[in-house]
Every structure is written in structure tokens, then in C-alpha cells.
Structure 1
Amino acid sequence: MRFDAQDIVLDTTRGNVGRIDAINGDCLVLTRPDHAPWDALTSWCMPATPAERRDFEDQEAAAA
């Protein structure tokens, strides 16, 4: 699957939704409000559902 920077995705290995901060080949650097960034392979990720995206954006707004 192809992702772009700033996409909101679900890391299926961790069960966490994050925003793509950087892409290094098959490795994505994901971030969440108030958490340290983490690496995830593209094969571990899938696009977030509309509900997951809304929840994540609400978390970002609350952290701002």
C-alpha cells in the first residue's frame, strides 16, 4: 500500500493510530499527540477508518 506524509494510519502491530511524519522506503515514522514517535513498516499499516481519523484529529486538537 502507498502512503503519503501526513496520512493518518493504523499500525496494526500496536493497535495505535498515528500520523505519518516521515517515510524512509518501507519504514514509516508515526506520531501521536503526547507520545514519542515510532517506526512501523508499511506492511503493518492500513488507512485509518473515518471514525479513527476523527478520534485522532480530536486528540491532536486537544493537545494543541
Structure 2
Amino acid sequence: MRFDVREIVLDPTRGQVGRITAINGACLVLSRPHHPPWDALASCCMPATLAEREDLKLLEGQEQGTAA
């Protein structure tokens, strides 16, 4: 599956949803608020569901609100 930077995906090996911050060949760099970035194989990741995307966006919004 092909992914783009800023897309929200599920990394089933970690059971975490994250936003793609970089793509290095077959490796995606994912991040989520309050967690260090991690690497995931693109072949293992899948698009996040609508609920998963909304949850991550809510977390990102809360992080931006505390940073302001």
C-alpha cells in the first residue's frame, strides 16, 4: 500500500495509530502526541479508521492547546 506524509495510519505491530512524519523507502516514521517517533514497515501498516483518525486529531489538538 502507498502512503503519503501526514497521513494517519495504524501500526498493528505496536497497536498504535500515528501520523506519518517521514517515509524512508519501505519504512514509515510515525508519531503521536506524548510518544517518541517510531519506525514501522509500510507493508504492515494500514489506513486508520475514521474513529482512529478522529481520536488522533483530538490528541493533537489537545497537545497544541497546551503548547499555546
- Whether TM-score is above 0.5 comes out as yes
Spell out, residue by residue over 1:6-49, the C-alpha distance to the aligned partner (whole angstroms, 9 max, x if none): 00000010010000000000000000001100000001100000
Q: Which runs of 5+ in 2 are unaligned?
A: none
What stretches of structure 1 move > 6 A for 4+ residues in a row?
none
Tell me the SS of whatever aligns to 1:28. strand
Whichever of the two has the greater Rg, that structure is 2
Aligned length: 64
Identity of aligned pairs, percent? 66
- Normalising by structure 1, we get a TM-score of 0.98
- Which residue of the partner structure matches residue 61 of structure 2? 61
Q: Which runs of 5+ in 1 are unaligned?
A: none
- Which residue of the partner structure matches residue 9 of structure 1? 9
